[in-house]
Structure 1
Amino acid sequence: MSSPPLLKPSRLLTHLQTLSTALDTTPYHPALYLDRAATHLSLSLPDLAAGDAYRALLLLDYVADYIDAGDLSVGGSSDGESSGDDTAEDTGDDDDDEEGDDDPTERDADGERVDKLELHAAAMALRCILDDLCATDSDISESVVLMHVSDLASQTMVLLVKSLESTACYHEARSYIRLAFRRFGDAVKPQLGAVLDRVEKRLETAEARESGTAFRVRYPWNEFEPDRFAEETVRFINETFVPKASPGNAVEVKVLELPVLSRNGEDRGRVKQLGMFAARDLRAGEVVLEEASALTTVADVTGGGLCECCSRRYREVEMPSKPSLSLDPAVKKSKPQNTTTSSSSSPKIDTITCESCRAAESAGIDCPIPTWCLSCHSTTTPRYHPILCARPTAPFHRAATSPSPPPHTTPTPNGPLYSLLLLKTFALALSPSSPTHPLNLPETKYLYGVSSTPLPTPWSFRDHVLTPLAILDALGVDAFSGRDPRGAGERGWWEPWVVNTLVAKYRGVASGRMGVMKGGVGTEAVGCQVVYSMANHDCAPRVGWELEERMRFRVLGREGQGGEGQGKMEGGAGKEGGEGEIVVRKGEEVTQCYCDRSLDVAERREWMMGVLGGLCKCARCVRESGETVVGESAA
């Protein structure tokens, strides 16, 4: 694993910002991506370096492939409609684009289908390459261009491999080393031979195969993250979000101090954090939170029997013919943090299905067919579904219901579920009525996930680079310029650092609901709620929770707050102890449990490592582990 990022002001950081500004205006320049990737790596940001290196490699491969196919010509003429010289400048708006033209392909001179976004990116990248070469030679042959492209590609692949090794994505590093040997032979063996030896040895250990690692951190150029502890921020949350979520304003948000957690349990001092507190005396069994969020999604959109918007069940699902008395160990091992279990029974509710998606699916487009309850259809879905409608996004939902990751990849815990949240976030950000940067959405802006102190977090090339690019492609968005055919969105919203920040927020606060699906027991719904996310973790929680249409907090009785019981619903969402008794006094912190609290201390700490960033130091964990340090709730 690499060392923590070097994010203090420096020449490297200034150079990084210069490169980012240049890419804002020239988003198809392979050499700029390569330079920025190298700068990211020098700043100990190999995760961002991998994202830039891969984009550079895509552009270089596009150029080589389309020249070989005859769709691009170095001399200014081509068999296709695009070339290095006659393609319009990328201003984010093509004059010949027809409104509503969602066909991502066109036909070349031979009648073969060509991806329009790819061809456009290749033409613009070729122009950048020609501009670079013409600085020293005005008469450029195709062979010279292809040789230059090959040289840049070999440099890019070496940098990509080093980035993947630094993030502990050893499967992918080995795959790209082998690819580099096939494509570039002896030219890269001196640089990658020793890397391959190290990677092979790492892959012999089980630990190296489980997950890659990076750091979650507030990047210095992130202008969207609020000062979470400022008086005006706390007041805004209490005045804007809490009244909509807490019946009778039963809770409020305050600033507190919590221990800084570490993987080895060492004392690292304390840090400010937000927390949820009782605004009045709270009684056992009382519901103190009912919070809806547009940032909710379901794994099986078409056949799961759940409203795609709020996850409310509208149809019973078929239960296994032989109910199991205990959760299968393999399924239990894959269970995400923050989970509760839904009931298979449901009241009859009126629903509506998207007929445009149904027609698209019938026409061969790999899109899910969502069904919504009527209230969601009229109030919330107009914010995001126009972006998702009839788009080939079903593969992301299938990945979320798959019991195992693809072979020879480095997974991250719950990565496919967070990809569904990323898909929903991008759709909300691209809303035709109010396009917004993904980090500036009300559903994401105030979620905790990053801080000024770098914390290790699971990271994988597939979940943080490949899948986000696939999401952009499925939505018809240019992965380099961020250009959207519907004219929505802000510049820079698709960058890898944005994806990392969003996933860090999901990993920090997302809740999931277990249910019976086609493949067995799995996470059927996942969501992020602002006020809910303010409640810190404690293995002896004050409230239990359940996610069904809305996130609900119910105050636990004193017996339930002890932590040892599992409660009537998994995750501790049931009523426990004497209902009506005052169990949380005004001003006391309201805590929840992020995992199955019936687990022993070692299992609980393992489950929550990715969320908390270190070993849980709540009073119960400290007591059960025999430690002498007095713990408190954990952020």
Structure 2
Amino acid sequence: MPALQERADVTTRLYEDPHNPHLYYERGLVHEKLGFPDLASADAYRALSLLDSVVDPDGCEFHARRRFHDSPEITESKARDSNNAADDAAAADDDDDDDQFTPLTQSEYDALIHPVYALLVRSLVSCGCFRDAYEFCARGLGSIGSTSDNQTSSDREAHATLAAQLATLQREFARRRNLPSSTTEIVIDDPSALPAQGLARRVLYPWNTHEPDRKSPETLALLNGKLRTVAPKCEVRAVALPALHSITITKPNPSSSSEPQDQEQEQPEEVSIQLGLFAKEDILPGETILRENSLLTATNRLHDDLCDACNGPLPELSADAPPVACANGCDDTIFCSQACHDQAQQVYHGAVCGLMENLESIGKDIPDPKDKADYLYLLLLGRALAMAATQEVHPLELGEVKFIWGDFVDYGHPDPLDPDPGASGNDGTLPFSFQLNILQPMRLLEEMEIDPYAHLRHYDTWVLNTLYAKFRGTASGRLSTWDGGPELCAVHPLWCLANHSCDPNVRWEWGGEITFVARAEAERAVWNLPSEADAAAAPTCRRVGAGIKKDEEILNHYCDIGLGVKDRREWARGALGGFCLCERCRFEAGEM
């Protein structure tokens, strides 16, 4: 059976039997076969969490159980019904359905626990999430023990897998500590030296039925209809852009003693047809051409003086229109106006109202500046989950994210002869970590009183990865005046239609609403000559003059345009999905 069909079948069974660790392990193996070690690691962790309930039932909220075996005919019928059922109706926690399930036994636990550890560690290593892989590897090896007494063949196979992965982690640790990599007994005495963040494939999943045809006449008409009130002098058009993912591929090699390097692979230039924002008429310098509000916002500062909805500043208590507090038990949830309060209740706060005591601290006040930006994306994810739950829609159907492009690549099935299909995760460009892509999203859902297993249809890891890809390519941010780190971010679905250039013709400002303002000539970027260029050389492709002409594309910027080309490309790479190929970057890098 083709692997994609295998995945579809086991996922359908999971919707009917969502607390069955056997099925998560089975699907994890299929995800590994498909070249998705990130999804495999998430399934393995779900299986592991449910298995924990067998040995510690009082310490676990969700308990492992499986549906009694049905005949194939009944199973097929229920699978068809499941596809048409509402998500809540399919939840297996319904008391009326309890007699259809049986708890997992100790013998089932013993047979499954070690293969699950092996899959989890193997998948995390394939993604480059070495720190968490080491933690689970140590736990798995400790669970199996060092003696062969009473070990089954699956135990011995799992032990061999974990031992091999530990050797890989030891080599990575030695490389980072400049230890002799040939040492056979490398002790990982400081796991924090291992990187926690790896990469996943930024892919358009073949089973994703929520991605619209962004270039269809219907989509363009819909977006242009929204632009009439937000940016009346602009319109959306299809535009050909270079496919950045085909230019740079990062391949960390933990078995190598050399530093990992970005391998710039020159491939035939691909073109990606995307959307862009264009001027319908001449626009004067200094003219504001777009004003957009969004409630898909996040801040990482706990108890800050910002509106919970729009992240705009709160008015003074003595103002004629003072701040408005949530009246339903969320004492620290404050809004800048009654309008923001009412809109928040309808858009996102309804699902978390009364639950903020435990939710509000997740991802806030992160001490390490290097982690702040990543945790802002987690907070954006949390807001999107709350919006979906409040509006009772699939997260990918939210109007704020549905038409955003996440710089995806088309899915390519791994070579069936590849002995390590999970290694295809090495061509990933989407940052991925156990904490931000698996553990913390599950925690968010649990604190929202949503069963992450029973509601897998809405909150599966591939859904979260798709949201992260869209956020990383489009979210705007604001730096803290205290430490210079990122503290605010938001997704404005019409604002982000403007494509990136390191020589933008607009600047943007954000304070409750986001705006585009046409740049004057003095505000345009200064192009630097390539390092070996003749001093008399000048870029012939640079447009001069102020304002924006009719039919000219509106060009935004996702990085500090005052940086050099190398630093700009590195900063913008996460948002763009590859190195920037705008005309300024190509000129300054000597590529023109």
In structure 2, the partner of 1:343 is none
- Which residue of the partner structure matches residue 212 of structure 1? 198
Q: Which letter does structure 2 place at the counterpart of 1:127?
A: T
> Paired residue for 1:133?
none
Task: Tell me the residue number matched to 2:125.
Answer: 165
Distance between the aligned counterparts of 1:45 and 1:621, measured in 2?
33
1:418 paired residue among 377, 396, 409: 377
> Which residue of 2 is the match for residue 614 of structure 1?
578
Structure 1 pair 599/35, CA: closer, same or farther in 2 (3 Å)?
same
Pairing partner for 1:531 from 485, 491, 494: 494
For structure 1, which segment, 556-565 or 380-389, has the greater mean C-alpha deviation from structure 2 after superposition?
556-565
- The offset of 1:151, in angstroms, is 2.0
Q: What is aligned with 1:92? A: 91
Q: Which residue of 2 aligns with 1:437?
A: 394
Structure 2 CA distance for partners of 1:35 and 1:94, relative to 1, 3 Å: closer
- Distance in 2, Cα, partners of 1:235 & 1:379: 26
Structure 2 residue matching 1:530: 3-state secondary structure: coil
Between the aligned partners of 1:547 and 1:27, the Cα distance in structure 2 is: 42
Q: What does the per-residue CA deviation read over 1:441-464, in whole Å, with 9 as the maximum and x for residues that have no partner?
A: 111101111534366211111100
Equivalences, count: 492
C-alpha contact (below 8 Å) 1:229/1:255 kept by paired residues:
yes
The aligned residue for residue 106 of structure 2 is 146
The structure-2 alpha-carbon separation of the partners of 1:193 and 1:125, relative to structure 1 and needing over 3 Å to count, comes to farther
Q: 1:68 to 1:229 in 2, by over 3 A?
A: closer
How big is each residue's C-alpha offset from its partner over 1:232-259, in whole Å with a ceiling of 9 and x where there is no partner? 21121111x212321xx11111111111
Query: Deviation per CA, 1:287-330, whole angstroms, max 9, x where unpaired?
Result: 0110111212232352x1111111111269xxxxxxxxxxxxxx
Match runs of 1:9-408 below 5 Å: 11-66=2-57, 92=91, 127=102, 129=104, 145-186=105-146, 187=155, 188-205=158-175, 209=195, 211-239=197-225, 241-246=226-231, 249-261=232-244, 262-263=247-248, 264=264, 266-267=266-267, 268-300=269-301, 302=303, 304-314=304-314, 350-358=322-330, 368-392=332-356, 397=361, 399-404=363-368
C-alpha contact 2:344 2:350 (8 A) present in aligned 1: no
Q: Is the 8 A contact 1:301 1:370 kept in 2?
A: no
Aligned-partner SS, 1:603:
helix
Q: What letter is aligned with 1:453?
A: D
Equivalent residue letter for 1:92: A
SS in 1 for 2:237: strand
Per-residue CA shift, 1:536-588, capped at 9, x if unaligned? 110110100111111111110123223569xxxxxxxxxxxxxxx86211111
User: Displacement of 1:95 after TM fit?
Assistant: 7.3
Q: Is the 8 A contact 1:265 1:614 kept in 2?
A: no
Partner of 1:626: 590
Give the drift of 1:168: 0.2
Identical amino acids, percent of aligned pairs = 32
Distance 2:399 2:135 in 1: 40
Alpha-carbon distance in 2 for matches of 1:166, 1:190: 16
Check the 8 A contact 2:238/2:276 in 1, yes or no. yes
Letter in 1 for 2:240: E
Q: Pick closer, same or farther for the CA change 1:233–1:309 going to 2, 3 Å.
A: same
What is the 5 A alignment of 1:393-542? 397=361, 399-404=363-368, 414-431=373-390, 434-453=391-410, 456-482=429-455, 492-516=457-481, 520-542=483-505
**TM superposition shift of 1:399:** 2.7
Taking the aligned partners of 1:182 and 1:125, their CA distance within structure 2 comes to 35
CA offset digits 1:585-635 (Å, max 9, x no partner): 11111101101111111111111111112111111111111123xxxxxxx
Equivalent residue letter for 1:28:
H
- Which AA in structure 2 matches 1:436? V
- Which residue of the partner structure matches residue 578 of structure 1? none
CA contact (8 A) 1:413 1:458 kept: no
- Offset at 1:265? 6.3
Contact 2:53 2:59 in 1 (8 A): no
Whole-Å separation in 2 of the counterparts to 1:72 and 1:376: 39
- 1:493 is paired with a residue whose SS is helix
Give 1:584's aligned residue. Answer: 548
Q: 1:73 to 1:91 in 2, by over 3 A?
A: closer
Change beyond 3 A, Cα 1:155–1:210: closer
Distance 2:394 2:195 in 1: 35
Give how far 1:524 is off: 2.8
Deviations 1:480-530 (A, max 9, x none): 102xxxxxxxx610111111111111111011112346xx44333211011
Q: Alpha carbons of 1:301 and 1:310: their partners in 2 closer, same or farther (altered >3 Å)?
A: farther
Shift of 1:400: 3.7
With over 3 angstroms needed to count, the CA separation of the structure-2 counterparts of 1:396 and 1:216, relative to structure 1, is: farther
| 2:511 paired with 1:560 | no
Whether the 8 Å CA contact 1:301–1:308 is kept in 2: the answer is: no
CA distance in 2: counterparts of 1:68 and 1:227, whole angstroms: 46
Q: Deviations over 1:340-360 (max 9, x none)?
A: xxxxxx99852111243446x
Shift of 1:190: 1.7
- Specify whether residues 612 and 450 from structure 1 end up closer, same or farther in structure 2 by C-alpha distance, changes over 3 A only: closer
TM-score, normalised on structure 2? Answer: 0.77
Please tell me whether the aligned partners of residues 93 and 454 of structure 2 are also in contact (alpha carbons under 8 angstroms): no
When residues 563 and 440 of structure 1 are mapped into structure 2, their CA distance, relative to the original with a 3 A threshold, is farther
- Does the 8 Å CA contact 1:290/1:553 hold for their aligned counterparts? yes
The equivalent residue for 1:84 is: none
SS of the residue aligned with 1:209?
coil
Point out where structure 1 has 5 or more consecutive residues left out of the alignment. 1-9, 75-88, 98-119, 130-144, 317-345, 360-367, 406-410, 483-490, 566-580, 629-635
CA change 1:382–1:180 in 2 (3 A) is same
What residue identity is the alignment partner of 2:328? S
For 2:523, the aligned partner's letter is: G
Alpha-carbon distance between aligned partners in 1 of 2:300 and 2:138, rounded to the nearest angstrom: 35
1:462 partner SS: helix
The alignment partner of 2:488 has SS state of strand
SS at match of 2:458: coil
Equivalent position SS for 2:143 = helix
TM-score (norm 1): 0.72
Distance across 2 between alignment mates of 1:377 and 1:73: 40
Preserved contact between residue 281 and residue 582 of structure 1 (Cα < 8 Å): no
C-alpha spacing 1:67/1:253, structure 2 compared with 1 (3 Å): closer
Does structure 2 retain, via aligned residues, the 8 Å contact 1:412–1:463? no
- C-alpha change, 1:265 and 1:124, in structure 2 (3 Å) is farther
**1:125-162 residue CA offsets vs partner (Å, 9 max, x unmatched):** 97164xxxxxxxxxxxxxxx313202201111100001
Q: Distance in 2 between matches of 1:472 and 1:298?
A: 19
1:438 maps to amino acid: P
CA distance change for structure 1 residues 461 and 563 in 2, over 3 Å: closer, same or farther? Answer: farther
- SS of the aligned residue for 1:253 comes to strand
